[in-house]
A and B are shown apart, each in its own frame.
Chain A
């Protein structure tokens, strides 16, 4: 490599902005408020066990929904003609060109009690219908500030990261392998189950990594769509650094534990995809 000097700026960048912060997090996590070594940060963390559980649970749900929505879409796209593909890829990518926060804000105005959706339901007389049938007296559906809203926000924001890797992998499957399976007596369903799905697993694994990891630590979505009613890891950490509870040592410890748990999850997952090349994204 005679041009290795060209990579120096990036290596320096990485050292300053990725490696150094990681080391700082590690040091801070074992430091007490007075500056000495301690593991107290990890013991006090026990009170946040529900937050951990909730974060991983919601991220898991969001990832599953992304697979269920994304896989069929990716499969369908990979089987389509060039024109349709370009169009659909464009439509998938389009929202990503707009800022993430803006998109999430717009979901707020859609889901609010007096937001777009509820207004629409009102206009088409849905509430009147329900009230007359069940004898209730509802004026809106409570959608914003719920865990459902958070999952919705995650799915909306992260779905492209599930669709694209799966699409790429399915698209690369040699059509001759599919024909070979048909030739050997596999009907359409069996071809999918025995050949296409196993061969697309590396894509699914990449997709899971790219959705699950950011979903666990997401912080703007629960803040905006959860309205602070549903605390997740992201909020918790943010509160330690910027907010009222100022305690960067505890914040670092939480970050560290989160990273370790995520790494373990990914390691276990990649074990499933053993031997399938291209699965490892980490």
Chain B
């Protein structure tokens, strides 16, 4: 990847006595699409606000292009932000909203050879650049509308244009799609990714939506309780989660207690299974992650394990089946229907296992015994409201 642009070094942040960020170390490369992903209150918005200059870390340093910028106010940073709920200027029309940053800008006077005299951008230049942006966000003809006469998706695009027109080195996006409906959100995900490649700058994106993060990012930073849990590409994060929290937060996971007997041999339920992981101490207790889509349902006699179906949900593309294996419930996603109460066998390929070292999160995730509640929780995270509350509390 290209060179490093932003570095957060040993950043800590506390509001009153509450530790919000815990010794955060993060490097962001130039032209990268980096996503800060985590549940409400994990510190992702705070991290973004530190980069944007709206909060100063209690301790630690922020570097931009190698220069320490802790004390640089937001208006002097080459960084622009797309705010949660857009924060468009209600008294200005679309054109003036987008032109706002350009009107603040001073550039060296071209007529002055010493290059010291600073002048405002010419009206022609401003019009040209705003028009160019309107073209990109396909809102030509909306110049004179006030923000409240636009739909959510349109406001969203104006907010992006308003930031991008300044040609920042970095664009920060704070849950920009949170207020949009599902269909529009999917479209905007594609659009954002396209815009990022088009303008070729760094995007730092905050979201609690794991699917959004997987779709758009070059790099995902998974955060919880003010600490980084894992940094990696979407594939890394999904296929090689570092601990039970990451495995559970990104996609669905069955997480089972196991023992690593030797390299490539893991034992659970008293039986040995072939896997592909190695590098653990002999007989080290581990967490075993099995993704619901990596499990094949077979007749009992052919299976590695046998269990009873306790719940079946039709999800359109597949069935979500809850299977009881000696009191521990697994989620299996399959296209074949099995009736509730059926005895089934399961088969897992060696690369279907992912072995993780034990962590503070072990035993907290990955059991589908309380299946229905789990689903309520999932739909909770779709609500943008709880993160809006998070943003508010940071203002104090």
Measuring CB to CB, which residues of chain A are less than 8 angstroms from any residue of chain B? 174-177, 179-187, 190, 194-195, 198-199, 275-276
Contacts and interface: CB of A to CB of B under 8 A. Distances in A.
Contact of A275 (B76, B146, B162): B146
Contacts, number: 65
Contacts of B88: 177, 180
A184 B100 contact: yes
A199 B100 CA distance: 15
Contacts of A175: 395
B75 A177 contact: no
Nearest to B148: A277
A187 B75 contact: yes
B113 to A, nearest CB: 26
Contact of B75 (A185, A195, A275, A276): A185
Interface string B323-341: 0000000000000000000
A195 B105 contact: no
B64 interface: no
Interface of B: 52, 54, 73-76, 79-81, 83-85, 87-91, 100-101, 103-105, 146, 162-163, 166, 395
Contacts of B166: 184-185
Given A174-B87, A199-B91, 9 more contacts: A179-B74, A180-B83, A182-B74, A183-B80, A184-B75, A184-B162, A187-B73, A194-B100, A195-B89
Contact of B105 (A182, A185, A275, A276): A185
Nearest to B103: A194
A183 B74 contact: yes
Given A176-B83, A275-B146, A182 B73 contact: yes
B90 to A, nearest CB: 7
B104 A177 contact: no
A194 B52 CA distance: 21
A199 B91 CA distance: 7
A181 B166 CA distance: 13
Contacts of A190: 104
A177 B89 contact: yes
Closest 10 CB pairs of A and B: A184-B101, A185-B104, A176-B87, A180-B87, A182-B74, A183-B81, A198-B91, A185-B75, A182-B75, A177-B87
Nearest to A275: B146
A181 B91 CA distance: 13
B91 A185 contact: no
A183 B89 contact: no
A183 B104 contact: no
24 contacts: A174-B87, A176-B84, A176-B87, A177-B87, A177-B89, A179-B81, A179-B87, A180-B87, A181-B89, A181-B100, A182-B54, A182-B73, A183-B52, A183-B74, A183-B75, A183-B80, A183-B163, A184-B104, A185-B75, A185-B76, A185-B166, A186-B100, A186-B104, A276-B91
Given A176-B83, A179-B74, A185 B101 contact: yes
A270 to B, nearest CB: 16
Which of B75, B103, B163 counts the most chain A CB atoms within 10 A?
A: B75
A258 B95 CA distance: 42
Given A177-B90, A179-B54, A181-B100, A186 B81 contact: no
Nearest to A195: B89
A243 B95 CA distance: 61
A182 B55 CA distance: 13
Which of B100, B101, B162, B166 counts the most chain A CB atoms within 10 A?
A: B100
Given A185-B105, A186-B104, A275-B146, A180 B395 contact: no
Contacts of B163: 183-184
A176 B73 CA distance: 15
Contacts of B105: 185
Contacts of A183: 52, 54, 74-75, 79-81, 83, 163
B358 to A, nearest CB: 42
A186 B87 contact: no
Nearest to B159: A180
Contacts of A185: 75-76, 101, 104-105, 166
A183 B90 CA distance: 16
Given A184-B101, A185-B75, A199 B90 contact: yes
A174 B89 CA distance: 10
A176 to B, nearest CB: 4
A183 B89 CA distance: 13
Nearest to A194: B100
B217 to A, nearest CB: 22
Contacts of B73: 182, 187
A195 B83 CA distance: 16
B285 to A, nearest CB: 47
A187 B75 CA distance: 6
A137 to B, nearest CB: 58
Contacts of B91: 195, 198-199, 276
A275 B144 CA distance: 13
Contacts of A176: 83-85, 87
A194 B99 CA distance: 12
Contact of B89 (A180, A182, A187, A275): A180
Contacts of B89: 177, 180-181, 195
A117 B15 CA distance: 50
Contacts of A180: 81, 83, 87-89, 162
